[in-house]
Amino acid sequence: MSKGFRQSQAFLHTWSGLLLGWILFLVFVAGTIAFWREGLNRWMRPEIARVEQPMRVLAGSQAFLTGKAPDAKSWIIPVATERSPGAQVFWVPQPKPGEERGRRGRRGRGDTQALIGADGQVAQARETRGGEFFYRFHFDLHYMPVIWARWLVGFATMMMLVAIVSGIVTHKKIFRDFFTLRRAKGQRSWLDGHNATAVLALPFHLMITYTGLVTLMAMLMPWAVVANYADQKTVFATLFPTAAAVERTGRPAPLVDLRRIAADAERRLGAPASFIEVSDPADAAARVSVSQSASSMLSSRTPRLTYDGVTGRLVWRSPPPGAAAETAGAMIGLHAGRFAEDGGRWLYFLCGIAGTLMVASGLVLWTVKRRERLPDPSRPHFGFRLVERLNVAVIGGFPLAIACFFWANRLLPVTLGARADWEIHVLFIAWAIAAVTAFVVRPARVWPALFATTGVLLVALPVYDVVATERGLFASLAIGDLMIAGIGATIVVFGLAFLLLARRVARHRPAAKHVRNPRAVTASKVLEPAE
Amino acid sequence: MTAGDAHARARWARRGDIALRVVAAVPLGYATASLWAMAIARLLPGDRAEASVTAALIALALCAIAAMWAFAARSGWQAIWTLAIAAGIAAAIAWISIDATGRL
């Protein structure tokens, strides 16, 4: 590869990584945490008992919905597992004449869903989004229309792909540098750290970025479909086939026992079921569709079975997808990692941390590299200050905001209206305070302050759990609930890491400025060889 | 003309060049990848839905390649005209093919 090519890609790497790097950091953090979303869904509802008999939850869900929403257009019932807090059921009311079909928006969410606990009754639990918040924030962000957020995240992801590939091209000594870690050498150390976290999990970074684009493919790249189909509905019917719709008859008929359907579906699929959707539940035309669990296979396009809701007869079975659809489904499955057992989740989680550190160290490296070349280091130019402060606000502030989110989950009164929303508001309020501080106070003081506060809050959290809840670390270990105990322990480890980081940053004294050859400075200003 | 003027001119020329490359990389790169998605979706044999999914999967990579080329090209103008030609070829393929056999 020619020197010119590598230099051009070094420039591209620097800027494609920087410009949306802060969004990438948020996406990486939220996505990494979301690998434990089922665990967090339980951890954030400490009053809920662990599910021992999933079928009991299913029977309870059916009984609840039969009483609550017999005339609904459809019910959606997730099949509870030992990992889930129960079954978060929801129903879609019959559209009133003149009303738009369905009611899917944020409004009125509370009155069309309920959490059915381990005993089959509506769970008496604090209102929270739990781990689902991180999952949605990962691609929907918050406080903004979902479609904008997805385009923004999609665009940032494409920048990430460009940054990764151009980073590889730039990197001529990829293996030698990987085994090089120069400690306490200023810029060299940052560069080595950036390289190590990037190269260590490089296959993961490439995979997660490309498959992330695939999850948004229908939105980002609809043109391949447009070329072949005049009506996009046709292709969706081909790619995501469903049983033929039946007209509501108006004749009431009792619904078959969903446990029987689930057991039959699991026998036919040879794998656990994950979602049960019932259309026109109390009608003679009721249909029950069962999807296979994504934990049982790589592809996210899981097979579906549809039953007659009155007789319980199998009426439809999804055809196997074509090779390309299966490939796309496998890519999405690989991205979400739902197939992975605990060991695999840990691998995903650790690689996600490596990705987060790669983005963070890259952002910091941008300032470290330029600081020495500033004409007057005491009065840096606007761009430099902006990047420096944004780094503090995002890399230092967002973890603190998450720690506050967890504390809000523990401390907000259970009776508070819109409590789940308030947990999230607390996260953003804490982050806003951290961000304002980052822009007002000198970075050298804010970095350790934010890290230390985050560390203290995280370490104190499991201590609070031991004292104030029945699901503390030791109680969870005693009943063999390794997921809850593991989350508590992980939070402590993260808290300690943040405290160490705070101490390290607080003691850091920048190396004495050596005067460099001014001509060399201007020459190297033009391009950014990242070697 | 002083050395300072020459320096400032070179800086503005470089900024203009980078602006052209950004235009080539982002809007033009996306348009080129999208048109190739259409062309590939038309050219691939077999099931139409399968062809469309394959083409979209490839086009995502083309987006990144176009952006890299926009910065690897000798100049911003070269990036623009090469990508425009690539987009034109794809547009012609897609248009002729759709005109000939229509869409579903």
The ipTM is: 0.95
What is the pLDDT, as a whole number, of residue A521? 40
B87–chain A Cβ distance below 8 A for any pair:
no
For residue A505, pLDDT beyond 70? yes
| pLDDT tops 70 at residue A511 | no
pLDDT, tens digit, 9 for 90 and up, residues A347-374: 999 999 999 999 999 999 999 989 888 8
pLDDT at residue A391 greater than cutoff 70: yes
Claim to verify: residue A252 and residue A339 sit in the same structural domain: no
Q: Are residues A349 and A222 in the same domain?
A: yes
The number of residues in chain A equals: 531
B78 touching chain A per CB within 8 A: no
pLDDT digits (tens, 9 = 90+) for A272-305: 999 999 999 989 999 999 999 999 999 999 999 9
Residue B2 burial (CB < 10 Å; 0-12/13-18/19+)?
exposed
DSSP H helices, A322-394, are 323-336, 342-371, 382-391
pLDDT tens across A49-63, in order?
A: 899 999 999 999 999
Closest CA to A228 of B95, B49, B30: B49
CB pair distance less than 8 Å for A230 and B71: no
Residue with the larger pLDDT of the pair B31 and A235: B31
Residue among B60, B93, B103 with most chain A CBs within 10 A, to mutate: B60
Residue A22: other Cβ atoms inside 10 A: 20
Range of A94-103, A175-184, A522-531, B56-65 with top mean pLDDT? B56-65
Contact with chain A for residue B36, Cβ under 8 A: no
- Asked if A190 and A268 sit in the same domain, the reply is no
Say what the pLDDT of residue A523 is: 39
The tokens of A76 are what?
A: 């959606």
pLDDT of residue A255: 95
Residue A235 shares a structural domain with residue A158: yes
pLDDT in tens, A238-277: 899 999 888 899 899 999 999 999 999 999 999 999 999 9
pLDDT over 60 (residue A526): no
When pLDDT is cut at 50, 70 and 90, the band that residue A178 belongs to is low
Angle at which helix B29-43 crosses helix B76-101, to 10 degrees, equals 30
A506 falls within a domain? yes
* pTM of the entire predicted model: 0.92
Q: Across the interface, do B48 and A235 touch by the CB < 8 Å criterion?
A: yes
Domain boundary among A290, A318, A346: A318
Q: Given pLDDT bands bounded at 50, 70 and 90, which one contains residue A377?
A: confident
Whole-number average pLDDT of chain A: 90
Residue A21 lies in a domain: yes
> Phi and psi (nearest 5°) for A45?
-125, 70
Range of the domain at A511: 384-515
Dihedral sign, Cα of residue A173, residue A174, residue A178, residue A181 = positive
| Cβ-proximal residues to A125 (8 Å cutoff; 6+ apart), any chain | A45, A47, A48, A85, A115, A117
pLDDT in tens, A328-346: 999 999 999 999 988 999 9
Give the model's pLDDT for residue A354: 96
DSSP 8-class letter at A122 = B
If asked whether residues A362 and A461 sit together in one domain, one would say no
Tokens of A9: 């890609």
**pLDDT class for A103, splitting at 50, 70, 90?**
very low
pLDDT at A328: 96
Helices A382-391 and A443-468, packing angle to 10 deg: 10
pLDDT at A531: 36
If you average pLDDT over residues A172-182, what whole number do you get?
65
pLDDT above 70: residue B74: yes
Q: Which residues pair with A77 in a beta bridge?
A: A276
Judge: B51–A225 Cβ closer than 8 Å, yes or no.
Answer: no
Based on C-alpha coordinates, what's the Rg of chain A? 26
At A174 the pLDDT is 62
What distance in Å separates the CA atoms of residue A223 and residue A84, rounded to the nearest whole number?
A: 38
User: What total of structural domains would you count in chain A?
Assistant: 3
- Angle at which helix A202-215 crosses helix A323-336, to 10 degrees, equals 120
Distance, in Å, from the CA atom of B72 to the CA atom of B68, rounded to the nearest integer, reads 6
Assess whether A368 and A441 both reside in one domain: no
Residues A113 and A133 in one domain: no
Cα separations (Å) of B42 from A227, A286, B46, B52? Answer: 7, 40, 10, 8
Q: Which of B34, B63, B103 sits opposite A228 (nearest CB)?
A: B103
The 3-class secondary structure across chain B, one letter per residue, is CCHHHHHHHHHHHHHHHHHHHHHHHHHHHHHHHHHHHHHHHHHCCCCHHHHHHHHHHHHHHHHHHHHHHHHHCCCHHHHHHHHHHHHHHHHHHHHHHHHHHCCC
Can you give the three-state secondary structure of A167-210, one letter per residue?
HHHHCCCHHHHHCCCCCCCCHHHHHHHHHHHHHHCHHHHHHHHH
Q: Is residue A530 part of a domain?
A: no
Domain annotation covers residue A524: no
Q: Are residues A256 and A398 in the same domain?
A: no
